[in-house]
Chains A and B, each alone.
Chain A
């Protein structure tokens, strides 16, 4: 069935280092992708998006890479800070006005 999965459920990173969170998606028809950050007790917060006609998009300290050949997304966070500690989700939009979410990766930033 449809699914979006993550390779690493928990990622621990030293403060100041770069973080890379990966995501595999299964629906080749998906043409839009979003990364979300969810802190404890809050709803998911939009971080960055990318369309299928792009392979890279940069934001403030974040970069999303899309490899359509292998149906893989990654989120890179530069100079990871304690405030980046959260659960990160990727979501794919295969059309039909719905999003499919991955199970999430917990990012822990070590001081």
Chain B
């Protein structure tokens, strides 16, 4: 069974631009979560989607948004990029019930110049 895939793997943007990252979950998984990973803050929860609905959101500004499609694929968008948004963005999928195994994709490395 194919794992979680994320595209693109690497991205370079400049301040003020916006970016859209994509995540395809494991087949049959309906929950997709997004995390930001930086050396200073570690893995920080962004948001979680299940059946196209956001069920939880972390403490990030409104510039960070996401959505999920009917096929469970998810996108996250960051508008008005700042230097501090440079990070590894990770997507994880699970079946969706609380307390179930969560599997990660390889991540998208975003660099903001």
Residues of A within 8 A of B105 (CB): 43
* Smallest CB gap from A1: residue in B: B59
Q: Known contacts A34-B102, A36-B104, A44-B104: does B31 contact A97 (CB below 8 Å)?
A: yes
A31 contacts across to B, CB distance below 8 A = 99
B interface secondary structure, majority: strand
Q: Which of B34-63 contact A (CB under 8 A)?
A: 35, 42-45, 48, 50, 55-56, 58
The contact size tier of chain B is 20 to 34
Contact with A along B94-113 (1 / 0, CB 8 A): 00101111111111000000
* Minimum CB–CB distance for B95 against chain A, Å: 12
A32-B99, A44-B90, A103-B42 known; A97+B50 contact, CB < 8 A: yes
In the complex the two chains form, what is the Cα distance from A45 to B100 in whole Å?
15
Q: Is the CB of B90 within 8 A of A99?
A: no
A101 nearest CB neighbor, chain B only: B43
Selected from A32, A43, A96, A100, the residue in CB contact (under 8 A) with B104 is A43
A10-33: CB near B (< 8 Å → 1, else 0) gives: 000000000000000000000110
Chain A positions within 8 Å of B96 at CB level: 97
- Nearest A residue to B4, CB-CB: A43
A86 CA to B3 CA, complexed, in Å: 20
Q: Does A42 lie at the interface of the complex (its beta carbon under 8 Å from any beta carbon of B)?
A: yes
- Asked whether any CB of chain A lies closer than 8 Å to the CB of B68, the reply is no
The chain B residues found within 8 Å of chain A, CB to CB, are 4, 31, 33, 35, 42-45, 48, 50, 55-56, 58, 90, 96, 98-107
